[in-house]
Structure 1
Amino acid sequence: MTAVVVTCPRRGAALPAAALPALRAADRVLAVPGLDAGAAAGAQDWDGTDPGGLPDGTVLLVPAGHPAATATGAVPPPAGHGVLDAVAVMDRLRSPGGCPWDAEQTHESLLRYLVEECYELYQSIEDGDRTELREELGDVLLQVLFHARVAAEHADAPFGIDEVATGLVDKLVGRHPHVFPAGDDAGEEVRTAADQDRRWDELKRAEKQRESSLDGVAAAQPAVALAAKLASRTAKAGLPADLLPGGEETGEHLFRVAAAAQLGGGDPEAALRTAARAFDARVRAAEKAAAAAGKAPHALTAEDWRAFWDTP
């Protein structure tokens, strides 16, 4: 039987570990002509013969996307190979001879794109659009790769995508001792999501050694989300609810509403967005109904708005 091994696109030298037994036992290794030299080293060019008709003991190397890559029993490239491709592309764009625009960017110049892409991802989730969700996840990933590549060029404290990923892995493993026990110590038993949420906070406090219950709260987040986060953090710290802002200023009133929603188990940011988008849809529907009746949407009177407001 012929073993088909799918190589990583643009990173042909990276072969899946699962293919090693077949490669070691192979009588002959064939490769699609033009395959990356790193993966095809020592392989003979494949003449296109049906893989099912090749002699037993043959290993066929094909790139992802090749028709033979879907053969029964084909060894796929390792999970995450696409991320390696994305890292390589980002590196090429940022390197000499790459893209002038990419080469000029800084952490600061990229800030607005980071925020925009996160909101676009948020909207794709709200809309339930799977195609947009996949694309927007890629755009957010680009921001991570871009910032990591810029960080690698820092004169005094450089770090790259590997350090970013390693830090993330260490954090996830360290905060899930019930999943990744260190030696014989599995840590406190975690049975529910609530248990893990509490345990996460405990481990985070011990790890960060923060002086305040509010340390680590991102002040740059949207105001409603910020108020909700502050209310949540202080509630966990035992702050009585009557000590939350209680004045009559607009900001204090909004803070109380956001805090009440958060402490009641809701998400005030999401709730406000839902209400805002529903209002947006209703305004557009009224304008559309007015236009169908021959009235220009930009010239509607208060009476017109009321007349078309509840029009299906």
Structure 2
Amino acid sequence: MTPDAPREAPEADAEAEADAGRIVLLTASHRVAPGLLSWPAWQTLHAADRVLCGVGDHPQLPYLRDAGVTVELAAPTAQELLDACADGRTVVIVSSGEGETDLTDGLARLAGSGRVRMPDLELLPGSYDLPGARLLDLVQVMDRIRRECPWSSRQTHKGLAKYGIEEAYELVEAIEDGDRDELREELGDVLLQVIFHARIAQEDEEEPFSVDDVAATIVEKLIRRHPHVFGDESAETPEDVKEHWLREKAIEKQRDSVTDGVPLGQPGLALAAKLAGRVRTAGMDVELPTGEGIGYELLALAVAAEASGTDPEAALRAAGRAYRDAIRAAEKAEGQA
């Protein structure tokens, strides 16, 4: 009779069947005020057997402690964390802003070894970025650059003015080219000009204002000029919307002339079209000035283009691009000759 094969110790069977516990990596956006966590995050924190954090000055710690959550300052290894989860315990790791790469890599190695039973691993976002949250990063970066960069710290509104014009033209070019990557980049460059000027404005001793004041001003203007969206008025067509906009703008500005507010420094064709649009909208009948030279001819063409719904500046740019392509084609042909 063959003796029975040796049996595994019953302790091993019990250990294999034991609950390996649960590890929760709790993350929170640094762009949201500390302590503003989701309800599932608070529930998990209060129910956990242990809450660990490896960063002593973590911004969430004062708020967790105020809420009665006991937080241990510890940065366990992967094996130490597995031991802490034994017998079905739940351990929450309050993640740092840089994440817990060393810990998660260690857990991955243990899981890949196949020699240990892994706890359940859960990533729990305690707060999320709202749309526009990355703008806070831009403000912080600009603030530091303004303080520490030898060039940026010396710039003024007047000194930066030319860059605003350049970036606006580059944005228009990206739009006309239809290049999505270029469009995203140029929008960022235009946004930088706004943030840069707002940061400089904070330092004005007599009339300081911040980027929040800039944003508040445009928000108020948008709400005020869209009574069909934020008020009781109605608008069924784009023409109705434009009428609302112009009416509200006229009330705000209380201008003496339809030409008030038209910047004379803009390109000539755009200036002529803008003036013609103001005249047409006001229902005025103003005879075009006459005189010698190409300027008056261009003025007449720009006014005619505006009346037909054509942007003369964009039309001339398109023709200029065609001319540029023709020049390049001629250069290429000459090079092959």
Q: What interval of TM-score do these two structures reach, taking the shorter chain for normalisation?
A: 0.7 to 0.9
Shift of 1:87: 0.7
**Pick aligned residue for 1:213 from 240, 253, 258:** 258
Structure 1: how far apart are the matches of 2:311 and 2:303?
A: 10
Kept after mapping to 2: 8 A contact 1:3/1:22:
no
Kept after mapping to 2: 8 A contact 1:245/1:256:
no
1:7 aligns with 2:37: no
Q: Whose relative contact order is higher, 1 or 2, with alpha carbons under 8 Å and at least 6 apart?
A: 2
Shift of 1:22: 2.7
Shift of 1:290: 1.3
Shift of 1:34: 5.7
Shift of 1:156: 1.2
Aligned pairs for 1:231-270 (under 5 A) are: 231-240=276-285, 243-270=287-314
Q: Which amino acid aligns with 1:204?
A: K
Structure 2: how far apart are the matches of 1:230 and 1:112?
A: 24
* Superposed CA RMSD: 3.2
Aligned pairs for 1:156-167 (under 5 A) are: 156-167=206-217
The equivalent residue for 2:128 is: 76
Structure 2: how far apart are the matches of 1:118 and 1:162?
A: 22
- Segments of structure 2 that go 5 or more residues without pairing to the other structure are 1-21, 65-70, 79-84, 105-121
- Segments of structure 1 that go 5 or more residues without pairing to the other structure are 294-312
**Pick aligned residue for 2:42 from 24, 27, 33:** 24
Q: Are the structure 2 counterparts of residues 239 and 81 from structure 1 closer, same or farther at C-alpha, using a change threshold of 3 Å?
A: same
Q: Which amino acid aligns with 1:138?
A: G
The equivalent residue for 2:111 is: none
Q: Are the structure 2 counterparts of residues 32 and 165 from structure 1 closer, same or farther at C-alpha, using a change threshold of 3 Å?
A: farther
Q: Are the structure 2 counterparts of residues 143 and 87 from structure 1 closer, same or farther at C-alpha, using a change threshold of 3 Å?
A: same
Structure 2: how far apart are the matches of 1:220 and 1:208?
A: 20
* Pairs aligned (count): 276
The equivalent residue for 1:310 is: none
Structure 2: how far apart are the matches of 1:143 and 1:16?
A: 33
Shift of 1:251: 1.1
Q: Are the structure 2 counterparts of residues 197 and 25 from structure 1 closer, same or farther at C-alpha, using a change threshold of 3 Å?
A: same
**Pick aligned residue for 1:37 from 45, 58, 77:** 58
Structure 1: how far apart are the matches of 2:207 and 2:246?
A: 29
Structure 2: how far apart are the matches of 1:80 and 1:205?
A: 31
Structure 2: how far apart are the matches of 1:116 and 1:224?
A: 18
Shift of 1:23: 3.4
1:134 aligns with 2:184: yes
| Structure 1 range deviating more: 56-65 or 112-121 | 56-65
Structure 2: how far apart are the matches of 1:282 and 1:92?
A: 47
Q: Are the structure 2 counterparts of residues 16 and 219 from structure 1 closer, same or farther at C-alpha, using a change threshold of 3 Å?
A: farther
Shift of 1:25: 2.3
The equivalent residue for 2:239 is: 194
Q: Which amino acid aligns with 1:79?
A: P
1:93 aligns with 2:145: yes
Kept after mapping to 1: 8 A contact 2:167/2:190:
yes
TM-score, normalised with respect to structure 2: 0.72
| Structure 1 range deviating more: 84-93 or 59-68 | 59-68
Q: Which amino acid aligns with 1:143?
A: Q
Shift of 1:129: 1.2
TM-score, normalised with respect to structure 1: 0.77
The equivalent residue for 1:175 is: 225
What CA deviation, in whole Å up to 9, does each residue of 1:40-98 have, x standing for no partner? 5556667697xxx9977958656599999xx9985531221111111111111112xx1
Shift of 1:30: 6.4
Shift of 1:190: 0.7
Kept after mapping to 2: 8 A contact 1:30/1:61:
no
